[in-house]
Amino acid sequence: MPVFDGVDPRYKRVLWTVIAVNGAMFLTEMAAGHLAGSQALQADALDFLGDTVTYGLSLAVIGASLRARATAALAKGLSLSVMAVWVFGSTAYHVLVLGVPKAEVMGVIGLMALAANLGSVLLLRPYKDGDANVRSVWLCSRNDAIGNVVVMVAALGVWGSASAWPDLAVAAVMAGIFLTSSVQILRQAWAEYREGAVTTRTAASG
């Protein structure tokens, strides 16, 4: 059976819906993260922004050649790696500089984000085994849902300990999730890129 490549009107409608949800939650979480002084919320907001951009890229290359779709997936995998590095570095900065975040704001916004991401995951679940371009969308949404759960865990930890360490630990865990997903996407995308290159050379020689 051929791997699903996203060429389906229903999938495109789902993707537009998920893009709108992620864009709205980026603005909400970034504002709340600044208000609460929460690194975990800001890291999760950055993930929403990255997803909004990469989902738009996924939508743009639907129907393109395998090589073009694999190239887009490679770009998304690399962006997740950059995001992981940023979160690790920012976490180290917050350990040394910032104070205790507001646990109540973290908990409320984390719950809102979890609801948004669970909805996205349910919409995208039927398409989770597609090509690298399609699968990267599923992995990013799944990561968001996991991230929201650990943000709420961080909120409980901050509230119970009156310390910033739970928030900072969660931000580091989220960075690890980004990096792991990046490796998965890059592996599949590189294999598909090579396959597309071979197909292109074969067509050219024929």
Report pLDDT for 100: 55
Pick the closest to residue 47 from 114, 133, 123 (CA basis). 114
> End-to-end CA distance of the chain, in Å?
25
Query: Tens digit of pLDDT per residue, the chain (206 long)?
Result: 567 777 888 888 999 999 999 889 888 888 887 777 766 677 777 777 877 887 888 888 888 888 888 888 888 788 778 877 777 676 666 655 655 556 666 667 777 888 888 888 888 888 888 777 788 788 778 877 777 777 677 667 766 666 666 667 777 777 787 788 788 778 888 888 888 777 777 766 66
Amino acid at 142: R
CA dist 149 and 169 (Å) reads 14
Judge if pTM exceeds 0.85.
no
For 160, counting Cβ atoms within 10 Å of its Cβ (0-12 exposed, 13-18 middle, 19+ buried), the class is exposed
How far, rounded to the nearest angstrom, does the alpha carbon of residue 197 sit from its chain's CA centroid?
A: 28
pLDDT of residue 204: 64
Condensed to tens digits (0 to 9), the pLDDT of residues 125-151 reads: 888 887 777 887 887 788 777 777 776
Query: In sequence order, what are the residues at sequence separation of 6 or more whose Cβ sits closer than 8 angstroms to the Cβ of residue 134?
Result: 4, 5, 6, 11, 58, 127
